[in-house]
């Protein structure tokens, strides 16, 4: 033990793969205050091994041992005064006697007291007691021995996560490996990761997981799979986490063999009643169903001219005898025609759901994405929150970074979520902050809460990258208390995940807090949406993909103007879906905030923003600034070398290095696209001017040929080179004409799915670097089989001595379908970003 403490005090940490997340409980030195305060024993007021209170006892024992090397024994029946006592209020009364002033607790709430002789952790229920144990351990793990005595209650009863796992083991929009629940159409045998997931979730007070994709497979409900789901529920239960299930609306027909799935048909009702009974027989505490109906091709009640409320109520009634909940998704919209300037997908949710307000059963919650489109880098608050007064609602966010860098870009999401949670919709000119609406306070609803699409997988880091876990941690904290501060939550996560070093704390806090603004800067600005490829991977840039299709994520960009006119006076009328005070702000170009101007208005590129810049100049400037900030993430992180264990340090470093390159891919693609469209020059003359670049297509080529890249803006000069065949190497040579000196060499290439090419770089026939195109195996985002903005990437060789007249040669060896593609070489004086 002594040796361990010694190493901990020197700041060394063992190599870590991320599996323990924020529950890693790094060993800390025990000060005299610590010795005075550490409890000598643990009293867990339930001896049943599968109970959350029993688990809380074990967690406390392990945590105390890991953090402070203290060995506390667990008992279950005697209330020792210098122990930590954990249990429900009722259990405490029974075993330890009367409480003078019992704390006021709601369901899942807890009381934590470290003042007085021992420590008391008392839950309203067992789940609450476990939450309290994790809270106490979180304090200890941060070296916090302050005396506290408080009770805390959840903002809302529903604090769920959604997994988009398919029965074949793949995960829709998942970037952290395969499913921890499913494989080959059934439930995996080894559910140890599912149990570990429940443990992580319990520590952030999440109380249910919907385990299968909203685009649900009817076979989820075969008797064999219900048994398997029961096994998942069994491993969740000791952590107080309940099971939820996504349903396919047509299951009675697909699986049940009925000729219909009409929600008002007696046989259909009976079918759902029966299957629900079977599920509850196996899983008596099942949380409920999640339903995506009449959305993106999923079946629903409209097939039978029934309303969405009739569809939702079908499940609600089947669940009522068991106390289950239906989470019914508001993500319902139709394909639209862009030539109609009144058409607007953003209006769909209110159009569909407002007329149904008050028609849903009491155990239905309408689950609403934060914005009216689809998890974009910036959206206004969904107006549906201001249109349902007699219906329960929940906020839906994405922890998985579908449109936001897919875990290959650093992006701390809570500041984005907060733009919605904290937004005051001013319903009837009264304070109507969104978090008060979905938690039920504003309209006196008993049910409500939040759901996050999380999509962890078998990857040891869970989400596919270490730094993305801050988003999961923060989601839990905000689901419990949406008034919490995004940065304070982050700081707790950093201390728990990377230790107590102040420089690590400061640096990671700064990087994380800068990450969303930076991403917005180098992707889509002013409310135009992310500008990613909405027709393919949702990852890299492709602004043209937004328009000329029926998906309704239009930018309406032409050579003079850009943006959606969503005003009532001239546009789609969307602003009219907001309460009067908010509508008035957005209706008027002068009062619309810059960051949403193109969401609400169709303007000239030369329109002047409140900032004084024109729209187009804002685009240019923001993209250059965003990419510069992304470069600093790498340098900031590199300043922490030696302060973070080598395994995580290097993994994160490699990703941030990738991000430096991909932020430039984004930058160049977007500025080139709009420069080409508008023909308006950049006042700073950066766009199209690359003093330090050599285009691959301008080099002397043997075995390589030029290739016209599409979309054009995802290649410098819109061209790249590929090997003549998939089996012969290519060589590209150039004589460098830069003043002699030390440079950073950046080589832009394409890394495709379906091959691992190799490249070798020589300077005057001396090897200076070698790399392989294996991003598809080492990074988390959806790979691409084309040369495009998803596969475009960069490798950096820093600090290379280059003399004027040196001959630079790159030899590319293709593999599979990947023809060793190259875009350009930058010979950058240190500090230059291009």
CB of 290 vs ligand GCU, minimal distance in Å = 10
Task: Please select the residue that binds ligand GCU; options are 95, 142, 215, 222, rule is CB under 6 A.
Answer: 215
Radius of gyration over every alpha carbon of the chain, rounded to an integer in angstroms: 28
Question: Are the CB atoms for 410 and 401 separated by under 8 Å?
Answer: no
CB of 175 vs ligand GCU, minimal distance in Å = 13
CB of 376 vs ligand GCU, minimal distance in Å = 11
- Write out the binding residues for ligand GCU, residues 535-564 only, by CB under 6 A: none
The first and second tokens of residue 268, run together, are 């259909």
* Nearer to ligand GCU among residue 130 and residue 404 (C-beta): 404
**CA gap 741, 697 in Å, rounded:** 25
Sign of CA dihedral 658, 663, 666, 672: negative
DSSP 171: B
Q: Where are the alpha helices (DSSP H) in 69-179?
A: 89-96, 126-141
Q: Is there a catalytic annotation at residue 126?
A: no
Cis (ω within 30 of 0) for the bond into 711? Answer: yes
CB of 213 vs ligand GCU, minimal distance in Å = 7
CB of 542 vs ligand GCU, minimal distance in Å = 15
Q: Is there a catalytic annotation at residue 647?
A: no
Q: What secondary structure does DSSP assign to 31-75, as a single string?
A: -HHHHHHS-SEEEES---TTSHHHHHHHHHHHHHHHHH---PEEE
615 binds ligand GCU (CB under 6 A): no
Here's the x/- map for ligand GCU, 398-417, by CB under 6 A: it reads as ----x---------------
* Nearer to ligand GCU among residue 68 and residue 333 (C-beta): 333
374 binds ligand GCU (CB under 6 A): yes
781 binds ligand GCU (CB under 6 A): no
The first and second tokens of residue 329, run together, are 């998704």
Sequence-distant (6+) residues with CB within 8 A of 232 are 181, 187, 191, 194, 211, 243
* Nearer to ligand GCU among residue 43 and residue 214 (C-beta): 214
214 binds ligand GCU (CB under 6 A): yes
CB of 367 vs ligand GCU, minimal distance in Å = 10
- Write out the binding residues for ligand GCU, residues 255-294 only, by CB under 6 A: 292
CB of 599 vs ligand GCU, minimal distance in Å = 18
Among the listed residues 26, 66, 165, 374, the single catalytic one is 374
Q: To 10 degrees, the CA torsion angle through 273, 243, 445, 348? A: -80
* Nearer to ligand GCU among residue 296 and residue 650 (C-beta): 296
CB of 602 vs ligand GCU, minimal distance in Å = 24
Among the listed residues 104, 107, 168, 296, the single catalytic one is 296
Question: Residue for token digits 């959606």?
Answer: 564
Report the DSSP pairing between strands 41-44 and 73-75: parallel
- Write out the binding residues for ligand GCU, residues 65-124 only, by CB under 6 A: none
**CA gap 511, 57 in Å, rounded:** 37
CB of 463 vs ligand GCU, minimal distance in Å = 16
Using alpha carbons only, what angle is made at residue 741 by residues 738 and 746, rounded to the nearest 5 degrees?
70
CB of 337 vs ligand GCU, minimal distance in Å = 20
* Nearer to ligand GCU among residue 335 and residue 801 (C-beta): 335
Here's the x/- map for ligand GCU, 490-529, by CB under 6 A: it reads as ----------------------------------------
Question: Residue for token digits 């988003």?
Answer: 471
DSSP 815: B
**CA gap 794, 267 in Å, rounded:** 59
Among the listed residues 108, 402, 520, 818, the single catalytic one is 402
CB of 300 vs ligand GCU, minimal distance in Å = 12
* Nearer to ligand GCU among residue 162 and residue 729 (C-beta): 162
Sign of CA dihedral 501, 503, 504, 506: positive
* Nearer to ligand GCU among residue 56 and residue 214 (C-beta): 214
**CA gap 113, 57 in Å, rounded:** 16
* Nearer to ligand GCU among residue 452 and residue 627 (C-beta): 452
**CA gap 26, 12 in Å, rounded:** 10
- Write out the binding residues for ligand GCU, residues 305-364 only, by CB under 6 A: 331
Sign of CA dihedral 604, 419, 476, 649: positive
Q: Is there a catalytic annotation at residue 104?
A: no
Task: Please select the residue that binds ligand GCU; options are 24, 127, 159, 173, rule is CB under 6 A.
Answer: 173
CA 273 to chain centre: 35
Task: Please select the residue that binds ligand GCU; options are 80, 90, 135, 172, rule is CB under 6 A.
Answer: 172
Smallest Cα–Cα separation from 176: which of 21, 385, 9, 351? 21
**CA gap 388, 382 in Å, rounded:** 12
Question: What distances in angstroms separate CA 197 from CA 40, 160, 460, one per listed residue?
Answer: 29, 13, 11
The packing angle between helices 615-638 and 646-678, to 10°, is 170
Question: Residue for token digits 């049910």?
Answer: 447
Using alpha carbons only, what angle is made at residue 502 by residues 513 and 497, rounded to the nearest 5 degrees?
70
Cis (ω within 30 of 0) for the bond into 192? Answer: no
Catalytic residues, by residue number, are 296, 374, 402
Q: Which residue ranges make up the site for ligand GCU (CB under 6 A)?
A: 172-173, 214-215, 292, 296, 331, 374, 402
């Amino acid at each position: 033990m002594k040796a361990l403490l010694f190493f901990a005090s020197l700041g060394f940490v063992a190599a870590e793969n991320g599996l323990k997340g924020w529950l890693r409980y790094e060993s800390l030195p025990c000060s005299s205050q610590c010795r005075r305060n550490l409890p000598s024993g643990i009293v867990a007021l339930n001896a049943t091994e599968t109970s959350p209170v029993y688990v809380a006892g074990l967690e406390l024992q392990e945590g105390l041992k890991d953090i402070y090397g203290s060995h506390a024994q667990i008992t279950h029946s005697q209330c020792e005064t210098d122990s930590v006592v954990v249990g429900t209020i009722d259990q405490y009364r029974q075993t330890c006697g009367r409480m003078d002033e019992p704390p006021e607790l709601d369901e899942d709430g807890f009381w934590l007291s470290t003042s007085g002789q021992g420590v008391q952790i008392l839950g309203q229920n067992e789940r609450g007691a476990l939450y309290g144990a994790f809270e106490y351990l979180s304090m200890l793990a941060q070296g916090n021995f302050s005396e506290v005595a408080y009770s805390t209650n959840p903002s809302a009863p529903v604090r769920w996560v959604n997994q988009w796992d398919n029965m074949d083991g793949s995960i829709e929009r998942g970037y952290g490996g395969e499913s921890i629940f499913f494989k080959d159409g059934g439930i995996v045998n080894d559910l140890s990761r599912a149990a570990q997931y429940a443990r992580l979730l319990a520590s952030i007070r999440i109380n249910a997981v919907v385990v299968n994709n909203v685009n649900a497979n009817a076979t989820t409900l075969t008797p064999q799979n219900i048994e398997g789901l029961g096994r998942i529920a069994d491993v969740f239960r000791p952590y107080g986490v309940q099971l939820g299930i996504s349903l396919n609306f047509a299951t009675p027909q697909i699986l049940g063999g009925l000729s219909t799935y009409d929600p008002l048909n007696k046989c259909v009702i009976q079918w759902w009643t029966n299957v629900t009974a079977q599920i509850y027989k196996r899983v008596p505490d099942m949380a409920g169903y999640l339903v995506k109906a009449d959305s993106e091709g999923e079946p629903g009640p409209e097939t039978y001219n029934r309303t969405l409320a009739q569809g939702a109520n079908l499940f609600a009634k089947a669940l009522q005898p068991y106390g289950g909940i239906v989470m019914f998704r508001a993500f319902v919209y139709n394909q639209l025609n862009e030539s109609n300037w009144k058409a607007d997908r953003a209006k769909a949710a209110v159009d569909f759901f407002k007329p149904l307000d008050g028609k849903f059963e009491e155990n239905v919650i309408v689950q609403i994405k934060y914005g009216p489109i689809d998890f974009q880098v910036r959206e206004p608050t969904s107006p549906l929150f201001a249109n349902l007064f007699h219906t329960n609602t929940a906020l839906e966010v994405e922890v998985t970074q579908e449109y936001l860098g897919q875990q290959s870009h650093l992006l701390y999401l809570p500041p984005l979520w907060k733009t919605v949670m904290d937004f005051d919709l001013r319903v009837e000119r009264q304070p109507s902050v969104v978090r008060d609406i979905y938690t039920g306070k504003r309209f006196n609803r008993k049910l409500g809460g939040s759901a996050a699409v999380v999509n962890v997988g078998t990857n040891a880091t869970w989400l596919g990258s270490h730094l993305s876990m801050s988003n999961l941690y923060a989601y839990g904290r905000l689901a419990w208390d949406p008034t919490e501060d995004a940065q304070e939550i982050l700081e707790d996560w950093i201390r728990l995940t990377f230790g107590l070093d102040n420089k690590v704390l400061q640096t990671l806090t700064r990087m994380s807090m800068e990450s969303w603004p930076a991403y917005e800067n180098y992707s889509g600005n002013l409310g135009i949406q992310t500008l990613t490829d909405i027709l393919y991977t949702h990852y890299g840039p492709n602004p043209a993909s937004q328009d000329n299709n029926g998906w309704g994520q239009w930018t309406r960009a032409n050579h003079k103007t850009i943006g959606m006119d969503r005003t009532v006076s001239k546009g789609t009328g969307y602003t009219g879906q907001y309460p009067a005070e908010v509508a008035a702000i957005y209706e008027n170009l002068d009062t619309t905030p810059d960051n949403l101007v193109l969401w609400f208005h169709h303007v000239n590129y030369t329109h002047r923003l409140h900032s004084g810049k024109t729209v187009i100049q804002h685009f240019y400037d923001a993209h250059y600034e965003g990419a510069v900030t992304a470069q600093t993430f790498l340098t900031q992180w590199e300043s922490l070398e030696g302060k973070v264990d080598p395994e995580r340090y290097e993994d994160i470093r490699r990703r941030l290095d990738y991000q430096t390159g991909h932020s430039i891919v984004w930058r160049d693609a977007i500025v080139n696209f709009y420069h080409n469209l508008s023909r308006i020059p950049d006042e700073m003359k950066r766009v199209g001017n690359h003093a330090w670049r050599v285009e691959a297509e301008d080099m002397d080529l043997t075995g390589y040929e030029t290739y016209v890249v599409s979309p054009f803006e995802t290649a410098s000069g819109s061209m790249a080179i590929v090997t003549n065949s998939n089996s012969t190497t290519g060589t590209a040579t150039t004589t460098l004409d830069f003043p002699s000196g030390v440079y950073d060499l950046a080589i832009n290439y394409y890394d495709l799915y379906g091959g691992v090419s190799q490249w070798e770089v020589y300077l005057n026939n001396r090897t200076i670097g070698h790399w392989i195109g294996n991003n598809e195996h080492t990074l988390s985002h959806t790979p691409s089989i084309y040369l495009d903005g998803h596969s475009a990437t960069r490798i950096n060789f820093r600090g290379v001595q280059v003399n004027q007249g040196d001959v630079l040669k790159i030899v590319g060896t293709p593999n599979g379908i990947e023809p060793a593609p190259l875009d350009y070489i930058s010979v950058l004086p240190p500090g230059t970003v291009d």
